[in-house]
Amino acid sequence: MASSEIDKMGDKMTTKKREKTLVVVQLTGGNDFMNTIVPYNNPHYYDARKTVVMKQDEVLPINDELAINPNAAPFKRLYDEGKMAIIQGIGYPNSNRSHFRGMDIWHTAEPDRVGNEGWLGQAVRDLDPNAENVLTGVNIGMGLPRAMSVTGVPVTSIGDLEGYGVMTRIEQEKLRDRALEAFKGLYGQALGSGAVAEYIGQTGLDVLRGADMLADVADNYSSGVEYADNQIAKNMRDVARVHLADLGTRIFYTSHGGYDTHANEMPSHPKLMNDLSGAISDFLDDLEEHDAGDDVTVFVFTEFGRRMRDNGSGTDHGSGGGAYIFGKNVKGGLYSEYPSLDPAEWEHGEDLKHTIDFRGIYGTLLEQVLDVDAKPIVKGEYEQIHPFAN
């Protein structure tokens, strides 16, 4: 059944122009924006960062004020090619420093109350109102991201395309059960056991069915791009595989962990930057090789930035941070304003202030990429940017 469904969907998709696709990459833990897009000529940066700091002569300048982390050289290439938009100072009023609540706010676009519907799940519902395609939304990774979770909306989640394809049915069902239990453990307290049970009851079979339909995708993929041997590179390769299979997926989701750098940031953050930038660069090159990159947008976000001052070994939870949009159709450059580094203007005397609301960026992606009305999803109207060529 799985292969026949793929054949039917593939025939249907190849008869029309490929629709715009959004790939969302979550940086879990709170990425250090200042050490990613470095204000390398600002004395306040060096006054605040005594240990966790990028050396002025090592960064990759993009203008006289800002530079890209030297460990993220592929980002510099993408920026120079006009394929990387840097959103400076993204956040929201009264930013929450809790990982769980902070990420939940970004997942539901509701800072003022605990929302019960993910922003991307709502978009999947708008894109496929009759729930005809369980692959409209696909998560690459374990569990079910809250951002894609809406009761009655099917979303497929798969951890490893290659591994899943060779599993027995019993192994596949056990994997599905573990994913659903992980979701239950994460969100039962916030949503209530009844809401979670209802969601799992309606979603569990769809998770398995959608994964079944993807079982042969890895075997049908070939590429001259050699992705690195790390988890985010593998995930982005799986996104490419599913996208190139033309199964009607409009929204992909994946995550990259390890960004909660309270300690040992200088040894750990460079590898994160290297792995992330390499994975996204390889993904875009892969799509280009297959002439499939024109309508794909990659959005990278994290739940908050880090504080201005380091703690001697790492950085603690902060507020205003950064997000990034990549793609062939992107008008590369800087968007919004870099938060002031002047100590007199720090939020709560220790944080960067946000300069653009993340709900406006969600609105940008929903309306300009997916052609979905953003207002009901972000609960209002917020300033958008215009980072796309057409």
Per DSSP (E only), the strands in 170-268 are 251-256
Segment 288-314 shows an average pLDDT of 95
Residue 384 located in a structural domain: no
Quickly state the pLDDT bin for 179 (edges 50, 70, 90): low
Residue 247 located in a structural domain: yes
At position 249, the amino acid (one-letter code) is T
Q: How many domains does the chain have?
A: 1
Residue 13 located in a structural domain: no
Residue 388 located in a structural domain: no
Percentage of residues of the chain with pLDDT beyond 70: 83
Query: Closest Cα to residue 327, out of 20, 14, 19, 16?
Result: 20
- pLDDT for 206: 58
pLDDT at 248 over 60: yes
CA distances from 241 to 140, 283, 297 (A): 11, 10, 16
pLDDT at 73 over 90: yes
Residue 14 located in a structural domain: no
Residue 387 located in a structural domain: no
pLDDT at 37 over 50: yes
pTM of model > 0.75 = yes
Domain of 39, CATH number, reads: 3.40.720
Which of 10-24, 54-68, 141-155, 219-233 is least confident? 10-24
Residue 389 located in a structural domain: no
State the DSSP H helix or E strand holding residue 326, giving kind and residue range, or none if neither.
Answer: strand 321-326
Quickly state the pLDDT bin for 14 (edges 50, 70, 90): very low
Residue 147 near residue 120, CB atoms below 8 Å: yes
Residue span of the structural domain in which 91 resides: 2-8+19-378
Copy the structure tokens of residue 283: 């993904």
Residue 76 located in a structural domain: yes
- DSSP secondary structure of 309-324: S--SSS--B-S-EEEE
∠139-135-9 over CA atoms, to 5°?
A: 150
- pLDDT for 216: 81
